[in-house]
Chain A
Amino acid sequence: MSKVRVLVGTRKGAFILTADGKREKWDVSGPHFAGWEIYHMKGSPLDPDRLYASQSSGWFGQLIQRSSDGGKTWEPVGNKFTYDGIPGTHQWYDGTPHPWEFKRVWHLEPSLTEADTIYAGVEDAAMFRSTDAGQTWEELSGLRKHGSGPRWAPGAGGMGLHTILIDPKNPQRMFIAISAAGAFRTDDGGQTWQPINQGLRSQHIPDPTAEVGHCVHRIAMHPSRPNVLFMQKHWDVMRSDNSGDSWQEVSGNLPTDFGFPIDVHAHEPETIYVVPIKSDSEHFPIDGKLSVYRSRTGGNEWEPLTKGLPQSNCYVNVLRDAMSVDSLDSCGVYFGTTGGQVYASADAGDSWAPIVRDLPAVLSVEVQTLR
């Protein structure tokens, strides 16, 4: 019997939600690491019971926790994230140079092919790799040093590397995204990188089509078609059919094209999901009506999915790492809100129900399909 495990990171701890393949009755475990911010948790695709969690606090800094039993028990592993060489500077909010300073790990991405390898995206933006299951970390400094680094600047939420996508057909190729620098690609396992932002237009930078400086919120891909990427930018939903070499806008009939997460249906590579948010200064749904929008055409034509979602007085946000899909048939879609709800749809978004309603603000949602 298939099972689903939903890993939920919140402002005040981690929660693990499990159900059988029907996805009707849920068991809730947590809070794990109560009182700590859990920016992200993710399981290894090679060993689903090996989980990693990014645990941080303003008082005590960054920790990485690892579980070998699906989250029943945890052990702290390495938390030393030291930039390679002299860190140098990036742009500060006022345009002045500012030293690179490690703040936290935003995203953890276990390798698809090496059981003990895991990548970490951090703030201030950089990518780290561990090849010993999180005990030690080394920076892949080719990203930060490739040339445009001194021109990167933080978004309002910090300068975090928040998206790491590994090409399942070519593990040497990875895509990452940074707020507010843009998207980048490596074709040699992280040694060298190039910006992939051609076609993006951002009004918040002096040159709207600049090589870097775009506030990319999230990128998603379908594993069967890794050359096709979907992006939720600060404003605009974008699509690339050539591994990021160029992008075109596919916002189409969305009521607003501002938002944070974007994800792809597990079995339909042209079916994508976003959560439209009113604006960059009003981080909540339009008219207090929480809606997921789905496109079955890879963008441009969107339909609202509202059944089971609050349609009045709802003023929550859905953060960039807080949406995920399972690979059951039919595809399950999940997202968490800053109001502490985790919603699940077992029918690809047609209808929704909350798994939990009153968690701390949800920072991340990852789903494991266990067979």
Chain B
Amino acid sequence: MTSTVIQVVLPQHLRTLARVGAEISLEVEGEVTQRSVLNALEVRYPMLCGTIRDHVTQERRPFLRFFACQEDLSHDSPDAPLPRDVATGKEPFLIVGAIAGG
């Protein structure tokens, strides 16, 4: 199985939790999808389990969004391929906290 190195950007609170900087280089095996990226992320940073998607249902937590290449991918299938620029590491996969406050 081939692997690819992609870039992932976490929201501030999860960077603190995982003790990482603004952008993570992440090795992803197989096709680069939301699911494969999150699987790889949780293997490398197990403290993130349950913070981005539900432990049991594996559904995205409601107040988080997935962006890439100026597109909102939050409602795409978790098994849909991510944009080519994400899969090649040219553009980051952004995990973003929904805006709050007024």
A residues contacting B by CB (< 8 A) are 35-36, 57-63, 76, 79-80, 82
Contact A79 B61 (CB under 8 A): no
Are B49 and A79 neighbours in the complex by a CB distance under 8 Å? yes
- CA of A62 to CA of B51 in the docked complex: distance in angstroms? 7
Our pick among B13, B49, B54, B64 for the contact of A36 (Cβ within 8 Å) is: B13
B67 to chain A, nearest CB (A): 15
Q: Does B1 interact with chain A (Cβ within 8 Å)?
A: no
Which of B51, B55, B56 sits near A60, CB closer than 8 Å?
A: B51
Residue of A nearest to B46 (CB): A76
Chain A residue contacts of B54, Cβ below 8 A: 61
Q: With A58-B63, A80-B49, A80-B50 given, is the CB distance from A63 to B17 under 8 Å?
A: yes
Report how far A62 CA is from B49 CA in the complex, Å. Answer: 10
Shortest B9–chain A CB gap in Å is 15
Report Cα–Cα, A57/B17, bound state, in Å: 13
CA–CA, A82 to B56, complex, Å? 8
Chain A contact residues: helix, strand, loop or mixed = loop
The docked-state distance in angstroms from the alpha carbon of A286 to that of B63 is 38
Return 25 A-B CB contacts under 8 Å, by A number.
A35-B13, A36-B13, A57-B13, A58-B63, A58-B100, A59-B11, A59-B13, A59-B63, A59-B64, A59-B98, A60-B13, A60-B17, A60-B51, A60-B61, A61-B54, A61-B61, A63-B17, A63-B47, A79-B49, A79-B50, A79-B51, A79-B55, A80-B50, A80-B55, A82-B56
For the side of the interface on B, what is the size category?
10 to 19
Q: How far is the CB of B55 from chain A (nearest CB, A)?
A: 5
Confirm or deny: B78 has a beta carbon within 8 angstroms of a beta carbon on chain A.
no
List 4 additional contacts besides A76-B47, A80-B49; criterion CB under 8 Å.
A60-B97, A61-B51, A79-B50, A80-B55
Contact partners of B47 in chain A: CB under 8 A: 63, 76
Instruction: Provide the residues of chain B in CB contact with A62, threshold 8 Å.
Output: 50
Within 8 Å CB of A58, what residues of B? Answer: 63, 100
Residue B24 is within 8 A (CB to CB) of chain A in the complex: no
Which residues 50-93 of B have a CB within 8 angstroms of A?
50-52, 54-56, 61, 63-64
Task: Evaluate whether A59 and B50 lie within 8 angstroms (CB atoms) in the complex, with A36-B13, A82-B56 already known.
Answer: no
How far apart are A45's CB and chain B's nearest CB, in angstroms?
Answer: 27
Q: How far is the CB of A6 from chain B (nearest CB, A)?
A: 24
User: In whole angstroms, how far apart are the Cα atoms of A62 and B47 in the complex?
Assistant: 11
